[in-house]
Structure 1
Amino acid sequence: MRFAPTAVAGAFVIDVEERVDDRGMFARTFCAETFTAHGLASVYPQCNVSQNHKRGTLRGMHYQADPKPEAKLVRAVRGRVFDVALDLRPASKTYLKWAAVELDGERRNAFYIPAGCAHGFLTLEDDCELFYQMSEVYVAELAMGVRYDDPEFGIAWPFAPVIVSERDAALEHYSRGTHT
């Protein structure tokens, strides 16, 4: 695996190193020892799948608040998405900065999003499926979110979303210190 840092402190794009032969391809997508060596979460007690039928579907920007903030390891297993990490950690040197990566099921790359960062994505084609590994279990009363189009962040989405859930459309704009 190759770990490439992003504009958000602690967020990494992770590319697999494929081994190809007559049988096909093999690649390691996760190793607890390697993740620990990079200072990343290496225990994932919960995994989720997100299926998205249409191009232009937006999900986000979501995070889980203290005392159980969650790191996420996100991978597209089918299709392509514009995946975003947004730093909401006031003590971080990249506070309110964002980083994006195109996750591609054929490329098998992943995005590691540290705890304290919001996450969201926009599907770039029909029929996208994502697989999430979560460093904490879901706690409904700690589930938070901020507006994907908040000018405070200036996220440069590749195009305007076509489908946004009522919940995500109703999220408030960010006010420093109110979402921790």
Structure 2
Amino acid sequence: MGKVSLEKTKTIRNKIISHGAKTFEPTIAIYREALAFIADVIQKEFDHLKHFNTKQVIPAVEKLIHRTKTNPFPKYPFTDRFYKFPSYFRRTALAKAFGDVKSYYSNLENWENEFDGSGKVVRNGKKDLAVFPTGKMYHADLNASYNIGARYFLREILF
């Protein structure tokens, strides 16, 4: 007969500690504050950054806000306000802020191009869906908009 080897196993039970839904709230608050700071910087410097894509804008804005050995005096004091802010959070916030600011200016430009001063907005025959606070969606032709607006207005007054 051959040798029989026995395997030894051990089960370790560890208690998982959960602090509930508020575990990440301080981190999210700091991230949002940093995001607002970066969005403000990008908005101030947007004339220089508007032709960049996201991959190009990250190093450009990092030179404006992040202190390093080769960049000891950045233009904006991000490193002073957010000391030891993780680079992956910083780069994510940069990409998000750039997208938000670029979207804002793009939408503003589209709105300015559509509005000719006559009081009517040119839509090029598009029947886009209108979304209302109730969450319902309707096709945005003029008659339907009047009917929906009147219903919403009356409901707000009566109820």
Confirm or deny a common fold (TM above 0.5): no
What is the TM-score normalised by the length of structure 2? 0.22
User: Looking at both structures, which has the greater relative contact order when contacts are Cα pairs under 8 Å and sequence separation is at least 6?
Assistant: 1
Normalization by structure 1: what TM-score? 0.20
More strand by share: 1
Which is helix-richer, 1 or 2?
A: 2
Give the number of the structure whose alpha-carbon radius of gyration is greater: 2
